[in-house]
Structure 1
Amino acid sequence: MPAGVSWPSYLKMFAASLLAMCAGAEVVHRYYRPDLTIPDVPPERGELRTELLGLKERQQRRQPCQQ
């Protein structure tokens, strides 16, 4: 057995760590609530607007005319 640990101790530690990982994953999944929906029709090319593109347009509109 690795590190001189008995089988019962090894299995208990394995079960406890597996349970802790699953519980942690469940808590994170419930906290962040990921959007798992799949759209029926994919968007057309150029239809998706990213935040960066919107930011560039807003900054261009805000700039005063320079003379």
Structure 2
Amino acid sequence: MKSVKMPAGVSWPRYMSTLGASMLAMFAGAQVVHQYYLPDLSIPETPPKPGELLTELRGHKVREEAAAAALQALKAEQKVD
């Protein structure tokens, strides 16, 4: 029986083995990433309050607080003069 070639000129066994190896490599890579970063996959029962999530930008709040403190200090200096 003659083997039927695909449009790219690759045989079905070659195509299937390449597909299997690619999928295995993708699954292994995803597993390595999940083991390294250890994502939190738990679902909380109640939604978190603003500022409780670790994924929120912490630096943004710190900059806002620093800017407010600097503005208050500037206003205090202007009132003293």
> What TM-score comes out, normalization by structure 1 length?
0.73
Q: Deviations over 1:26-58 (max 9, x none)?
A: 111111111112112123xxx412522343013
Separation of aligned partners in 1, 2:19 and 2:30? 17
Separation of aligned partners in 1, 2:16 and 2:24? 12
2:39 partner letter? P
Structure 2, unpaired ranges of 5+:
1-5
* RMSD after superposition: 1.8
**Count of matched residue positions in the alignment of Structure 1 and Structure 2:** 63
SS at match of 1:4: coil
Separation of aligned partners in 2, 1:3 and 1:56? 58
Larger Rg: 2
Separation of aligned partners in 1, 2:61 and 2:38? 27
1:20 partner letter? A
2:11 partner letter? S
Query: Structure 1 residues 32 and 3 mapped into 2: Cα distance closer, same or farther (>3 Å)?
Result: same
Identity across the alignment (%): 49
